[in-house]
Structure 1
Amino acid sequence: MAPGLVISAPASGIGKTTLTLALARAYRDRGLRVQCFKSGPDYIDPAFHAAATGRASVNIDSWAMDRAAIEHLVSRDANADLVLAEGSMGLFDGVAARGVSGTGATADIAEMLGWPVLLVIDPSGQAQTAAAIAAGLRDFRAGVHLAGVVLNRVASRRHEDLVRQALADTGIAVFGALTRHAEINVPKRHLGLVQAEEQAQIGGLIAEAARLVSEHVDLDAVLRAASARSSHTTAIGLNLTPPGQRIALARDAAFSFIYPHMQEAWRAAGAEIVTFSPLADEGPDASADVCWLPGGYPELHAGRLAANTGFRKRLRAFAETRPVHGECGGYMVMGAALTCAGGARHEMLGLLGLEASFAERRMHLGYRLAELAVPMPGHQAGARLRGHEFHYSTIIAQPDPPLATVRDAMGTVVAETGSRRAQATGTFFHLIAEDR
Structure 2
Amino acid sequence: MIKGLLISAPASGTGKTTVTLGLLAALRAQGVTVQPFKSGPDYIDPAFHSAAAGRASFNLDSWAMPAATLHDIRAQADGADLIIAEGSMGLFDGVAIAGEAGSGASADIASLMGWPVVLVIDVSGQAQSAAAVALGFSKLRPDMPFAGVILNRVASPRHEAMVRAGMEAAGIRVFGSLPRNPDITLPERHLGLVQAEENPELEAILARAAAFIAANVDIPALLDVANAASTTPSAGPASPPPGMRIALARDTAFSFVYPHLIAAWRQAGAAILPFSPLADQGPDNSADCCWLPGGYPELHAGKLAAAAVFRRDITAFAQTRPVHGECGGYMAMGAALVDKDGVSHEMAGLLGLVTSYEKRKMHLGYRQAHLSHPIPGYAAGAALRGHEFHYSTILSQPDAPLATVRDASGAQVSETGSLRRLGGGGMATGTYFHLIGQAT
TM range (shorter): over 0.9
* Partner residue, 1:314: 313
Distance 2:433 2:354 in 1: 16
Q: Is the 8 A contact 1:182 1:212 kept in 2?
A: no
Q: Does 2:261 align with 1:262?
A: yes
1:135-284 maps to which residues of 2 (within 5 A)?
135-181=135-181, 184-234=184-234, 236-284=235-283
Distance 1:414 1:24 in 2: 39
Q: Is the 8 A contact 1:237 1:265 kept in 2?
A: no
Deviation by residue 1:121-177 (Cα, 9 ceiling, x = unmatched): 001111122110110000000111211111110111111111110010000011111
Aligned-residue offset at 1:84: 0.4
* Aligned partner letter, 2:70: I
* Partner residue, 2:433: 429
Distance 1:76 1:252 in 2: 25
Distance 1:32 1:375 in 2: 45
* Aligned partner letter, 1:413: Q
Q: Does 2:43 align with 1:43?
A: yes
Q: Is the 8 A contact 2:183 2:205 kept in 1?
A: no
Q: Is the 8 A contact 2:294 2:329 kept in 1?
A: yes
Deviation by residue 1:207-257 (Cα, 9 ceiling, x = unmatched): 1011011111111111111113324123x2442121112111101111001
Distance 1:284 1:265 in 2: 21
Distance 2:213 2:68 in 1: 35
Aligned-residue offset at 1:324: 0.6
Distance 1:219 1:243 in 2: 43
1:273-312 maps to which residues of 2 (within 5 A)?
273-312=272-311
Distance 1:228 1:28 in 2: 20
Aligned-residue offset at 1:181: 3.8
Distance 1:159 1:227 in 2: 31
Distance 1:183 1:200 in 2: 15
* Partner residue, 1:125: 125
Query: What do you get for the CA RMSD once the two structures are aligned?
Result: 1.0
* Aligned partner letter, 1:343: G
* Partner residue, 1:324: 323
Deviation by residue 1:185-220 (Cα, 9 ceiling, x = unmatched): 111111111111111211110110110111111111
Distance 1:419 1:182 in 2: 45
1:340-355 maps to which residues of 2 (within 5 A)?
340-355=339-354
Q: Is the 8 A contact 1:153 1:183 kept in 2?
A: no
TM-score, L = length of structure 2: 0.97
Distance 1:339 1:40 in 2: 30
Q: Is the 8 A contact 1:152 1:177 kept in 2?
A: yes
Q: Is the 8 A contact 2:251 2:276 kept in 1?
A: yes
Distance 1:155 1:426 in 2: 49
* Aligned partner letter, 2:187: P
Deviation by residue 1:324-345 (Cα, 9 ceiling, x = unmatched): 1100000000001101112211
* Partner residue, 1:381: 380
Aligned-residue offset at 1:277: 0.6
Aligned-residue offset at 1:270: 2.1
Q: Is the 8 A contact 2:183 2:208 kept in 1?
A: no
Task: Tell me the secondary structure at the aligned position of residue 128 of structure 1.
Answer: coil
Distance 1:182 1:303 in 2: 34
Q: Is the 8 A contact 1:2 1:229 kept in 2?
A: no
* Partner residue, 2:30: 30
* Aligned partner letter, 1:70: L
Deviation by residue 1:296-323 (Cα, 9 ceiling, x = unmatched): 1111111000001010000001111111
Distance 2:292 2:435 in 1: 12
Distance 1:389 1:206 in 2: 29
Aligned-residue offset at 1:435: 1.0
Distance 1:367 1:249 in 2: 24
Q: 1:182 to 1:351 in 2, by over 3 A?
A: closer
Structure 1 stretches lacking a partner, 5+ long? none
Deviation by residue 1:77-124 (Cα, 9 ceiling, x = unmatched): 232111100000000000000000100000000000111000000011
Distance 2:44 2:430 in 1: 22
Task: Tell me the secondary structure at the aligned position of residue 207 of structure 2.
Answer: helix
Q: Is the 8 A contact 2:415 2:431 kept in 1?
A: yes
Q: Does 2:66 align with 1:66?
A: yes
Aligned-residue offset at 1:182: 6.0
Aligned-residue offset at 1:364: 0.4
Deviation by residue 1:244-289 (Cα, 9 ceiling, x = unmatched): 1211110111100111111111122222211111011100011111
Q: Is the 8 A contact 2:38 2:46 kept in 1?
A: yes
* Partner residue, 2:424: none
Identity percentage over the alignment? Answer: 62
